[in-house]
Each structure stands twice: as structure tokens, then as C-alpha cells.
A = this chain, B = another copy of it.
Amino acid sequence: MNMATTDTRQEIMSVSKRMVQARGYNALSFREVAKAVGVKSASVHYHFPTKGDLGAALARRYTDEGAAYLDGLLANSEDRALLMGRYAKIFRNALVDDNRMCLCGIMAAEHHDLPDEVRAEIDRFSEVNVQWLVKVLSLGNTQGDSGGLKRKARAIYAAIGGAQLLARGCGDISAYDQAVVAYQEAGLLG
């Protein structure tokens, strides 16, 4: 009847997730995670044999949850501008929450140090985002040109990630907001 007091495995993942969003994959420490969970580091290795396994599991769950959330947004509205606003808000919220970054955004910066299984999940996250943006850009758009749409979707994804990176670097959310306004003014988000 597993109504147990939350799985150790789940606790490891949630602690690790916050750690990576705050400080990156390289700064994720098995010993720190273990201490926060109340267990020894060798025990963390029991659940996730290597750091790559843990990173990949984090990215996989993060992508899955993100995809579900985005699908929910699209099920509730067909208003392009409104959906774009909500999209920008997701990345803003990470900054509000203790100056965190998108898990996959910060890991992308650490590309060189990532095991292959983690890289694969980062790619999937990007793909999920870009495909959702293509759907949003397509709403009420009769002019086809799906190649241009995908290019624009990629650009929006990149631009939002860049705004998050910039704002985090200077620790000032208004830098994020200003960048997003400028994107809107330029018509990048339309």
C-alpha cells in the first residue's frame, strides 16, 4: 500500500532538479544531494548509477512535464498572442523562482561536459518547444510556408532562452521583460 513518505528516488530528483536549475549540471553534487535527502552519496548511486543517468532522468521528466503543460495551454486557447504571452511567462517564472533557469537551457551551455544520454534529452526538449511554437504560429495562418514557420519558431525559442540567460547574468528580471517587449515590437513573437 505504498502511501509511504515519498520515495527516496523522487526526493533525489526534486532536490537535484532545483540544484541544476540554480547552478548547472557541473555543480550538481551527489554528496550535496545525499545530504539534502538525508542519505549517503553511495545510496544516490544506487538509484542513479552515474551522474549522466541522473541528469538524463531529470531532463526526461522535465521535458515530459513541459510538453504536457504546453499541450494544456493549446487545448484552452487558440489566441496566438495570448499563447505567446503565456509561453514567455513560463521562462519568466523560472527567474522569479530564485533566479533559476530552464533546466535544458542551462544544460545546453554545458554541452561539452554532458554524457550523450543527457544531450539526447536536451535535443528532445528543444524539439518539443519548437514544434509547439510552430503550432501556435500556424493558428489562423493560411499562408503555409512551413519551412519559414519552423525557422521562426526556432528563433523565438532561441530568443526567449537568450533573454533568460541575459536576465540571469545580471540578476535582473526587468532585463527579461524588456527583451520580450522588444521582441514583440519587432514582430518576432507574432
A181/B111 in contact, CB under 8 A: no
Question: How many copies of the shown chain assemble into the complex?
Answer: 2
* A110 at the B interface (CB under 8 A): yes
* A80 at the B interface (CB under 8 A): no
- Identify 7 residue pairs between A and B in the complex whose beta-carbon atoms are under 8 Å apart, listed by A's number: A24-B109, A105-B165, A108-B169, A151-B182, A152-B182, A158-B175, A183-B188
| Contact-residue size bin, chain A (C-beta under 8 Å from the other chain) | 35 or more
A107–B104 Cα gap in the complex (Å)? 16
Closest to A170 in B: B123
List residues of A (160-190) whose CB comes within 8 Å of B's CBs. Answer: 160-166, 168-171, 175, 178-179, 181-183, 185-188
Known A-B contacts A126-B169, A158-B166, A162-B165; A112 and B23 likewise in contact (beta carbons under 8 Å) = yes
B154/A158 in contact, CB under 8 A: no
A168/B111 in contact, CB under 8 A: yes
A154/B126 in contact, CB under 8 A: no
A139–B91 Cα gap in the complex (Å)? 33
Q: Which 7 pairs of residues, A with B, have the shortest CB-CB distance?
A: A162-B162, A108-B169, A155-B182, A26-B26, A109-B109, A186-B188, A158-B162
Given the complex, which residues of B lie within 8 Å of A161, measured CB to CB?
A: 162, 165-166
Given the complex, which residues of B lie within 8 Å of A155, measured CB to CB?
A: 159, 163, 178-179, 182-183, 186
A183/B159 in contact, CB under 8 A: yes
Given the complex, which residues of B lie within 8 Å of A3, measured CB to CB?
A: none
A23–B104 Cα gap in the complex (Å)? 16
* A68 at the B interface (CB under 8 A): no
Known A-B contacts A109-B24, A112-B22, A159-B183; A154 and B171 likewise in contact (beta carbons under 8 Å) = no
Given the complex, which residues of B lie within 8 Å of A152, measured CB to CB?
A: 182, 185-186
Given the complex, which residues of B lie within 8 Å of A164, measured CB to CB?
A: 162
List residues of A (1-56) whose CB comes within 8 Å of B's CBs. Answer: 22-24, 26-27
